[in-house]
């Protein structure tokens, strides 16, 4: 794995070197810089594609793609080069260069409208402003107003060492025994010290005590923040949390939250989970499945009410059955009955587990479909404490008997 990662990193370095050499001889620093950023962006987000094709083909494709939207092949502009000369300089055929260029354009969404890839866009800002004001004097809209409405595309360049380290740690997760997982996780940290997943793996060491595990998980959170170059989540650019490289941060905070909950630090666990939902709008980790049960267990009903309102249209069993429990526990029995009907209609498999007619199996499903028994098992494995009350169990049993089952088909 180490060898494979080094090959990929070496290929990336070759591409950058070829772009720099070509730019120094035929172009200028502006072209060089924007082509290097393009290469870094491609490598960060499309590593699988980078495995295919030779380094000089990628270098030619990147320069050609950037060149086509910056008039590089127009003899009236400077710098200028013939397309055939560009291909010749990189040692590729016209068909190879053209094909790679199209691939780069597609991956980066290159166009003249995408100002991120236009050379000299900042230099043209003042002249553009004057032109707009001259053309639109009859309106009250200024360039400054427009700038507030439409921001420049958010840019974030990832250290290539992180990419190599992350591939190493991805391989570590696939290992069957902890010893091998730890070996590759340690190697990943040797390549890039702010590899959050590596610390998470090391925290799984059964020989560590709870404080040592917590320390490693806190390191994981800090490493993820360092990767994103943020000290405080509240003051960070909102766009950074939408990037794929923000996933290690949410994963680290999730792992820390679960550890805190298991070890009695329930307030801290809830706060960590809430923070994930605050910044990870899609909640791809399904933190809400855990959080609704934690809030019910700790009787934080006001916070739970807010959370359920946020996910009002969510069809997850955890959301719908937590709404039932909240309404029942706050003595809104009629509303709780209606909520139970809706929850039962969306996933009837939960009720047998509530009534203790079924037991959660020792092996939990990794994935599930909405409305399935797998979802019911996953939910109840997390929320059984909520339903561990003879009164609410008896109430559910009575209501189920009253339901007209035909209405649920």
- For the ranges 58-67, 102-111, 184-193, 205-214, which has the lowest average pLDDT? 102-111
Report the mean per-residue pLDDT for the chain.
85
pLDDT at 3 over 60: no
Q: For the chain, which residues make up each domain, given as ranges? A: 2-114, 120-152, 162-285, 295-409
Q: For 203-257, what is each residue's pLDDT tens digit?
A: 999 999 999 999 999 999 999 999 999 988 888 888 888 888 899 999 999 999 9
DSSP 240: G
pTM, two decimals, is 0.63
Element (H or E) spanning 65, and its range?
helix 55-68
| CA–CA distance, 152 with 150 (Å, rounded to integer) | 7
Q: What is the CATH number of domain 2-114?
A: 1.10.472.10
* pLDDT tier at 49, thresholds 50, 70, 90: confident
* Cα 315 to Cα 53, 260, 311, 318, 372, distances in angstroms: 44, 28, 9, 9, 12
Helix (H, G, I), strand (E, B) or coil at 45: helix
Residue 152 predicted with pLDDT over 80: no
Going by CATH, does the domain composed of 162-285 fall within 1.25.40.10? yes
Q: Is there a common fold for 2-114 and 162-285?
A: no
Q: Is 271:256 a contact under the CB 8 Å cutoff? A: no
């Amino acid at each position: 794995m180490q060898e494979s990662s080094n090959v990929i990193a070496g290929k990336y370095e070759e591409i950058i070197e070829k772009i720099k050499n070509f730019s120094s001889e035929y172009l200028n620093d502006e072209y060089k810089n924007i082509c290097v950023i393009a290469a870094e962006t491609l490598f960060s987000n499309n590593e699988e594609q980078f495995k295919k094709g030779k380094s000089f083909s990628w270098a030619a494709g990147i320069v050609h793609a950037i060149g086509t939207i910056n008039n590089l092949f127009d003899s009236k502009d400077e710098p200028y080069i013939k397309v055939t000369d560009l291909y010749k300089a990189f040692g590729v055929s016209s068909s190879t260069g053209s094909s790679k260029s199209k691939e780069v354009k597609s991956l980066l969404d290159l166009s003249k409208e995408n100002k991120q890839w236009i050379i000299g866009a900042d230099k043209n800002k003042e002249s553009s402003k004057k032109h707009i004001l001259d053309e639109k004097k009859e309106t009250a809209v200024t360039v400054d107003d427009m700038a507030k409405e439409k921001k420049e595309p958010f840019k974030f360049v990832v250290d290539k060492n992180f990419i190599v380290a992350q591939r190493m740690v991805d391989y570590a997760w696939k290992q069957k025994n902890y010893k091998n997982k730890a070996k590759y996780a340690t190697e990943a940290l040797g390549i890039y010290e702010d590899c959050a997943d590596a610390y998470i793996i090391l925290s799984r060491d059964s020989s560590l005590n709870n404080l040592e595990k917590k320390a490693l998980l806190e390191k994981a959170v800090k490493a993820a923040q360092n990767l994103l170059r943020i000290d405080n989540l509240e003051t960070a650019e909102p766009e950074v949390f939408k990037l794929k490289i923000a996933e290690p941060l949410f994963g680290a905070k999730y792992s820390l939250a679960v550890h805190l909950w298991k070890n009695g630090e329930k307030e801290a666990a809830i706060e960590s989970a809430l923070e994930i939902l605050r910044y990870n709008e899609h909640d791809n980790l399904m933190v809400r499945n855990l959080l609704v049960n934690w809030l019910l267990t700790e009787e934080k009903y006001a916070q739970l009410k807010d959370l359920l309102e946020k996910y009002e249209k969510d069809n997850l069993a955890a959301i719908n059955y937590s709404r039932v429990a909240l309404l029942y526990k706050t003595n809104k029995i009629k509303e709780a009955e209606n909520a139970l009907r809706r929850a039962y209609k969306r996933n009837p498999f939960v009720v047998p587990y509530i009534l203790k007619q079924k037991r959660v199996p020792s092996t939990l499903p990794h994935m599930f479909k909405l409305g399935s028994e797998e979802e019911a098992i996953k939910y109840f494995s997390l929320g059984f404490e909520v339903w561990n009350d003879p009164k609410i169990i008896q109430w559910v049993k009575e209501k189920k008997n009253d339901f007209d089952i035909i209405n649920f088909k």
